[in-house]
Amino acid sequence: MPSKSNERLPHNHVGGVGAAVIFLLAGFVFVSAYAGQKLNGAIVIPEWMGIAVVVAFATVFAWVFLFSRVLELGGVRGVRRLMERAAAPLVPFGYFFSAIDSWLVFVVAPAVGATLRGDIVRYTVFFTHIVVGCIFAWHATAPLGLIGAMWAFIAVISVARRWSWIETDRNRLIQDPDMKTNLLRIGLHDDLRDEAVSGLLLLVLILPIAMRQFQLFDFGYPVFQVETGAIDRLDAWVGFFGVELLKALPFLDWADIYSAEAETRIHTSAPLSMHVLLVARAIIDLVFIGAILQALAISVSLSKNRRDFLERRAGVDALDPRIEARELARLSFRKNGEWRFREEIQQYTHYSPSRLIRLKVKAKKGSRLQVAVAEIIRRSGLDITPPAELLPQVTASKRIDPAEVRAVLDEIDELRQYDLDYLAIARRQLNWKSGVEAERKRLVQMIVSKVDVSPQRERELAEVLVGKDADSLANIRVLVVQSLARNAQANPQNLRPLSHAFHYDRAKVVRNTVAAQMRARKLRPVSENELTMLEIGRRVASV
């Protein structure tokens, strides 16, 4: 469920067919658990069921490999439409599952630190949630401890889902390079692969702690068979769960083949313990293994991207952003106090100019990355885009990197290229965005103090003070009031926005500043009636 809807990025809800698949999987687990409880110790798997399993596997693999071709067949499209109509009553459930997924991605994941900028801060917050949840689950009275285990589990799943959404956005951008990044569901600023995989690895700690809660709760009978003193030993629970996972390795059931027996301090006994273990195994199989496969696929994709770039394959003129900075930085090194470059830097002269410019601005001054990028630009003979033109591109992103904005502003100051049009566009794009307040003020200060006084500049400052694009920060509006009042004698048109702010600005500090500035310069604010007449006259003139 994307955060916004547009023609190029439609909502991607779970449909009725998807909901049916989810219910089928849940039903299979439930039926298996029920049958296992009723027939415990007397389950016999007939030969015909084995044949059915082989046929089912063959059908699934054939469908996967022939999927794209099969979809072209008219009959299959008809069957697909028939399935969609048959599953139509389940569409509301699909929307419900989509809402849960969106809640995990947009609410829970940010709450556990997935959107924080610094890697150390992000890791610390995320793993603190998991550790605190596990500690609460271990020490709390049953079944309250399940709340802690559940929160740790939800935190892990939310980050894994956000990572999956980010990779989906990345694939969409690869398929459509012209797509604007602000149309993506989340964007590509965060690479949560390490957090997601690390969190999923911690499931082997979270799930055994949750199992212990079932043993502590008084069901009237012991759920697990636990040796004396082992119930409060974390290593006993983790060891038990690890052995059960080892016995059930996917596609390699060696324990059954070689009649291996578990030698642990904890064993399943009551049917409930088997149900709990079945659910835990299902979670590991469905969530953990899927994430590992996705991580491996990403590693293969990154390797292929680097190979295609170095071989100058058509359409590949840049490295994937996830490895870009690291690969470019290693091209430069210092020796005897001088910068040297590896021979393979010549293979990077066809690098995307726009990406090089962004990297040059974003890189820390004097860093290996900045030196390497500057050398590639020199060897490529590129004309550098003025930083003022780059600024609107940086500020157009859905999520703004303050460091990147500061770097562009530093470059503008260094070159003294203050283009009012680009500064104004960037100012509007940053308006109402949090986390970049200092950069917003600095940008307006540039317009006030660096751009030459002109009617166009005064009109832009008036828009900062009043109107639909007025700045949301009162301290920035105060800054503009001082500039407009200072030039009001030479530009009488400044009286109109100043008077409007005097009467209507929502911040008392702005209204007081206007009054003080006008008294100091012996200016008279335009009355409300005069403002109304001026506005009517302006609209008539525009018609």
The one-letter amino acid code at 413 reads D
1 vs 149: which has the higher pLDDT: 149
- Residue 243 lies inside a defined structural domain of this protein: yes
* Cα(389)–Cα(412) distance, integer angstroms: 10
Domain count, the chain: 5
**Are the beta carbons of 499 and 463 closer than 8 angstroms?**
no
Do residues 75 and 178 both lie within one domain?
A: no
Cα-based torsion angle of the residue sequence 213, 214, 216, 217 in order, rounded to the nearest 10 degrees: 110
Domain boundary among 269, 297, 315: 315
pLDDT tens digits, one per residue of 172-217: 776 666 666 666 777 776 778 888 888 888 998 999 999 999 999 8
For 447, the token pair is 């317009």
pTM of the model: 0.64
Do residues 327 and 402 both lie within one domain?
A: no
Give φ, ψ of 340 to 5 degrees. Answer: -125, 160
Single out the residue of 283, 245, 229 nearest to residue 26, CA to CA: 283
pLDDT tens digits, one per residue of 306-364: 888 888 887 788 888 878 888 999 999 988 888 999 999 999 988 888 788 778 777 88
Do residues 425 and 506 both lie within one domain?
A: no
Is the pLDDT score of 11 beyond 60? no
Do residues 182 and 211 both lie within one domain?
A: yes
Do residues 356 and 273 both lie within one domain?
A: no
Residues 386-421, buried b or exposed e (16+ Cβ, 10 A)?
ebbebbbbbbebbebeeebbbbbbebbeeeeebebe
Q: Whole domain around residue 479: which residue ranges?
A: 452-543
Question: In whole numbers, what is the pLDDT of the chain averaged over residues?
Answer: 81
- Residue 71 lies inside a defined structural domain of this protein: yes
Predicted confidence at residue 540, as pLDDT, reads 56
pLDDT tens digits, one per residue of 488-500: 888 888 888 888 8
Do residues 488 and 541 both lie within one domain?
A: yes
- Residue 106 lies inside a defined structural domain of this protein: no
Residue with tokens 């885009």: 385
Do residues 235 and 127 both lie within one domain?
A: yes
pLDDT tens digits, one per residue of 38-69: 666 556 677 777 788 788 777 766 665 565 45
pLDDT tens digits, one per residue of 404-441: 888 888 888 877 888 899 899 999 999 988 889 999 99
How far, CA to CA in Å, does 41 sit from each of 47, 135, 224, 319?
A: 18, 36, 17, 57
SS3 of residue 248 by DSSP: coil
- Residue 402 lies inside a defined structural domain of this protein: yes
Burial classification of residue 160, based on how many CB atoms lie within 10 Å of its CB (0-12 exposed, 13-18 middle, 19 or more buried): buried
Confidence at 2, pLDDT banded by 50, 70, 90: very low
**Are the beta carbons of 198 and 204 closer than 8 angstroms?**
no
Do residues 242 and 225 both lie within one domain?
A: yes
79 vs 30: which has the higher pLDDT: 30
Q: Apex CA 126: angle with CA 105 and CA 102, to 5°?
A: 5
Give percent of the chain above pLDDT 90: 24
* Cα(495)–Cα(488) distance, integer angstroms: 6
Q: Fill in the DSSP letter of residue 384.
A: P
**Are the beta carbons of 177 and 275 closer than 8 angstroms?**
no
Q: Could you tell me which residues come within 8 angstroms of residue 469 by beta carbon, excluding any fewer than 6 positions away? A: 428, 431, 463
Residues 309-320, buried b or exposed e (16+ Cβ, 10 A)?
beeeeeebebbb
pLDDT tens digits, one per residue of 394-412: 888 777 888 888 888 888 8
**Are the beta carbons of 97 and 18 closer than 8 angstroms?**
yes
Mean pLDDT check: name the lowest of 76-85, 162-171, 481-490, 493-502. 76-85
Do residues 348 and 371 both lie within one domain?
A: yes
Domain boundary among 355, 380, 405: 380
**Are the beta carbons of 495 and 482 closer than 8 angstroms?**
no
476 vs 96: which has the higher pLDDT: 476
Host H or E run for residue 335: strand 332-335
- Residue 107 lies inside a defined structural domain of this protein: no
**Are the beta carbons of 207 and 245 closer than 8 angstroms?**
no
- Residue 397 lies inside a defined structural domain of this protein: yes
Give percent of the chain above pLDDT 70: 81
Domain boundary among 380, 399, 421: 380
Is the pLDDT score of 138 beyond 90? yes
Confidence at 460, pLDDT banded by 50, 70, 90: very high
Do residues 131 and 236 both lie within one domain?
A: yes
- Residue 84 lies inside a defined structural domain of this protein: yes
Do residues 12 and 161 both lie within one domain?
A: no
* Cα(142)–Cα(210) distance, integer angstroms: 10
Burial classification of residue 269, based on how many CB atoms lie within 10 Å of its CB (0-12 exposed, 13-18 middle, 19 or more buried): middle
- Residue 372 lies inside a defined structural domain of this protein: yes
Q: What does DSSP say about strands 338-341 and 332-335: parallel, antiparallel, or unpaired?
A: antiparallel
Host H or E run for residue 225: strand 224-226
Do residues 308 and 347 both lie within one domain?
A: no
